[in-house]
Chains A and B, each alone.
Chain A
Amino acid sequence: MAETMLELKNVEAGYGEFRVLHGINLRVDKGEIVALVGPNGAGKTTTLRTILRMTTLYNGEIRFKGKDIRHLPTHKIVEEGVTMVPEGRGIFNPLTVYENLVAGAYTKKAQEKMDDTLEFVFSLFPRLKERRNQIAGTLSGGEAQMLAIARAIMSRPEVLMFDEPSLGLAPKIVLEVFDTVVKLRDEANMTILIVEQHVKNSLEIADRAYVMEMGQIVLEGEGKALLNDERLKKAYLII
């Protein structure tokens, strides 16, 4: 059996007094692509943020490779090997493309491997190499998303989480993003947890998936199986 990379047990979390997650149980095994889908406001972003200690945790357990990471600050969790491509990309706009990538390799471990990682992300996204000296704020939406992904790769995560990476992108680029996610698992040995609104696409690439509603997991199963689930088809109008 594959090693369990991420494990959430009965996680209750939110923002200050405002409770969003009401007992989340979720597991991601090594080498898996796990999708987390659900309507707007269900708490998907909050789940990812909670793993990185960017919310208020009231109850529950969060483990990375068996280690309790509940009390580590965000930057330490990144050092451990978990990071996220945030919703809305979060590019450092005034910095150049190259500086964004170097910032991504901030941890000591990542810095040591920076040259190799750079070569890898440039092979993945040749456009970024061409534009390495450009101010990141001037990139197009698709390029900015590539940069956000590349920057996250720079920290050499074992678990990479994506929060709606295809948001606002043209259909062709959306497909590229999904291809990249699969490549990262297959070629870079990464374990993936992906939040997406393109439910069909993400269930197609996912080994397993969780469906979330109102702060709770309401359905889970293999990606392909969920794709044919009548309840899900109705709820998300998957054709």
Chain B
Amino acid sequence: MIDPSLVANNVIDGVLMGLLYSLVALGLALVFGVMDIINFAHGDFVMIAAYLSWLLAMAFWLDPSIIAVITVPVFFLIGVAVYKLVIEPILGAEPLIQIAVTVGLGYVFQNVALGIWKAEPKSFPNPWFNFSIDLGPVTLTVAKLMAAAISLISLYLVHYLLTNTKFGLAIRATSANREVAPLMGINVRKVYAITFGLGIALTALGASLYMSWGQTNPYLGQSFSLLSWVIVAMGGLGGVVGVLYSGLIVGILEALGTTFFTASARLAVVYIAFFLLLWFRPRGLFARR
């Protein structure tokens, strides 16, 4: 028999993690939706940002989640620079070239991390919020609760940017028709640069929050990439709300995988559920028609 309070705890953990996954996946969804480029290095930006969070946390002896105030703007600028140097030259190129370039970028990141920090995991030894509180039968980790709340707020802010600001309208117009957007006076290259910067800034926020309890290694990006792809494929067409729901579903599935099978089966459970979903709804959860 499986203990119901264990299930409840894991599901809550899944919801909290799901919100963090949504945050990271939103960056991928924005870049894909607006620029039609699949950034295969997306998760590796999370990994590099996790190392930067760890380094700065060690240097200032502050919790990594606080370090987000540095990593987020820095990664926004890194995102803009990577856009200019790496992405802009391959806009409109063959998909195979785009895949090769972004996969290659992720590979470079992994090898840089491996070269500098070796394969051994790094975590901040003095986290501030990595403790639990008991609420009746369930136990909550404060760091995860905080990460989930900040993720949710950030999802809302991005949603607000997209739906209630002039620049957000430019982003959505560009996403709808990048050929025609310039005829409105929209500078599409600028929209691309800022969208990519924003997408990368979100990976940094996710990474800094995650490091307030988690640990990083050079391969951390792989699971973040996989989960982000699944989330975007499932809900990407539904905008920010679609990403939010899909992230929650993925987080809960992962938690149930851990509960009923083993921790190492969690990604397999997510994937099997994903295949089943594609079987019934090949265009994702939020496809029209």
A residues bordering B, Cβ < 8 Å?
A: 52, 54, 73-75, 78-79, 83-84, 86, 90-95, 99, 102-107, 110-111, 151-152, 154-155
Nearest CB of A to B182, in Å: 4
Pick the residue among A54, A93, A94, A106 that contacts B184 (CB under 8 A): A106
Q: Count B interface residues, CB 8 Å.
A: 19
Contact A106 B176 (CB under 8 A): no
B122 contacts the other chain (CB 8 A): no
Whether B185 is near chain A, meaning CB under 8 Å from some CB there, is yes
Q: Report chain B residues within 8 Å CB of A78.
A: 182-185
B186 and A90 contact, CB distance less than 8 A? no
A90 near B179 with CB under 8 A, answer yes
* Interchain residue pairs with CB less than 8 A apart (8): A54-B182, A86-B183, A95-B176, A102-B169, A103-B184, A104-B184, A105-B184, A106-B185
- On whether the beta carbons of A90 and B183 are closer than 8 Å, the reply is yes
What distance in Å separates the Cβ of A202 from its nearest Cβ neighbour in chain B?
A: 21
Q: Is B172 an interface residue (CB 8 A)?
A: yes
For B176, give the chain A residue with the smallest CB separation: A92
Does A75 contact B188, Cβ atoms closer than 8 Å?
Answer: yes
Query: Inside 8 A of B179's CB, which chain A residues have their CB?
Result: 54, 86, 90
Query: Which residues of chain B have C-beta atoms less than 8 A from A73's C-beta?
Result: 182, 187, 189
B185 with A92: CB separation less than 8 A: no
Q: Which of the residues B166, B176, B183, B188 comes within 8 Å of A93, measured between beta carbons? A: B176
Q: Taking A52-B182, A52-B183 as given, write out 17 further A-B residue pairs in contact, using a Cβ cutoff of 8 Å, ordered by the A residue number.
A: A54-B182, A74-B183, A75-B188, A78-B182, A78-B184, A86-B180, A86-B183, A90-B179, A92-B172, A92-B173, A92-B176, A93-B177, A95-B172, A99-B169, A102-B166, A106-B185, A154-B184
A75-B188, A106-B166 known; A94-B183 Cβ under 8 A = no
**Are the C-beta atoms of A94 and B182 separated by less than 8 Å?**
no
Decide if A90 touches B185 in the complex (CB within 8 Å).
no
Contact B184 A151 (CB under 8 A): yes
**A106→B189 CA distance, assembly (Å):** 15
Indicate whether B249 reaches chain A with its CB closer than 8 angstroms.
no
Nearest B residue to A111, CB-CB: B166
Chain B residue with Cβ nearest A109: B185
Given contacts A94-B172, A103-B170, A103-B173, whether A75 and B180 have CB atoms under 8 Å apart is no
Q: Is the CB of B172 within 8 A of A75?
A: no
